Structure 1
Amino acid sequence: MRRLGAGMVAQARSGGSQIRLTRRGRVVVTMFAAGMLLLAFWLTAGPGARAGDGDGGPAPSRLQTVVVEPGETLWDIASRHNPESDPRRTVDRIIDLNGLSSPVVQPGQQLRLPSR
């Protein structure tokens, strides 16, 4: 019996040789396969797979900002900013983008608006 690297043992059999994996060898092969799958997924998933990209939207310099006027609501701002879209979705995006804990806004508050 001859020892091979990474936990593999080779045994000579009549009619040829066969490689048998030890427990350590199976762990190494499994970890290698999992790593290759994760690498392939990361490379093919596109820019959204990278941490910190959010929704893959524009760079922060391209974001629009608005100052909340007295009596104005997020629904008003969302409807005016993106009239062809569902205001509920735009309100949710404004809340997420600005890290708001609720949809209540105050006059004079500055909000970043999502790209259209």
Structure 2
Amino acid sequence: MNSSARPRPAAPVRLTRRGRVVVVCAVALVLLAGFWMGARHGARATSGRERGPAVARESVVVGPHDTLWGIAVRARPEVDPRVTVQRIIDLNALSSAVVNPGQKVYIPAR
């Protein structure tokens, strides 16, 4: 026996293809969860309920055959309807441009 034998250094960790897939999926899930939580926090911070009295706005009750486009044209005829529709969607935190009869929709200030 040789007393001067040095211990061999540990071999580097090697991942199999399956191991790499698991690591990538785990990192992706963590990132998605972080983005989801950030989006929920951002949506909560910009909801209309938390606006102060400095934002002057009027509201409209959606009629049976109303669309956001029609409401935008009636409310702000001097402005491009596309801009007004997007501002209405943002102001009311709508997920799409679909509105229902009887729904109260806030119109952006002039």
| TM, length-normalised to structure 1 | 0.48
Runs of 4+ in 1 over 2 A off after TM superposition: none
State which of 56, 59, 64 in structure 1 corresponds to 2:54. Answer: 59
Q: Which position in structure 2 is the counterpart of 1:114?
A: 108
Corresponding letter in the other structure for 1:97? L
Matched, 1:72 2:61: no
Q: Which position in structure 2 is the counterpart of 1:96?
A: 90
TM-superposed CA distance for 1:102, in Å, is 0.3
| Aligned-residue identity in percent | 60
Taking CA–CA contacts closer than 8 Å with sequence separation of 6 or more, which of the two structures ends up with the larger relative contact order? 2
Aligned partner of residue 74 in structure 2, secondary structure: helix
Q: Which position in structure 2 is the counterpart of 1:83?
A: 77
Query: How many Å separate the matches in 2 of 1:66 and 1:59?
Result: 19
Corresponding letter in the other structure for 2:77? P
After superposition, the C-alpha distances for 1:18-48 in whole angstroms (9 at most, x for unaligned) are xxxxxxxxxxxxxxxxxxxxxxxxxxxxxxx
Corresponding letter in the other structure for 2:54? A
Give unpaired runs (5+ residues) of structure 1: 1-50, 53-57
Aligned residues: CA RMSD:
1.8
Q: How many residues align?
A: 60
Query: How many Å separate the matches in 1 of 2:72 and 2:82?
Result: 8
TM-superposed CA distance for 1:63, in Å, is 1.0
The structure with more strand, counted as a fraction of residues? 1
Corresponding letter in the other structure for 2:74? R
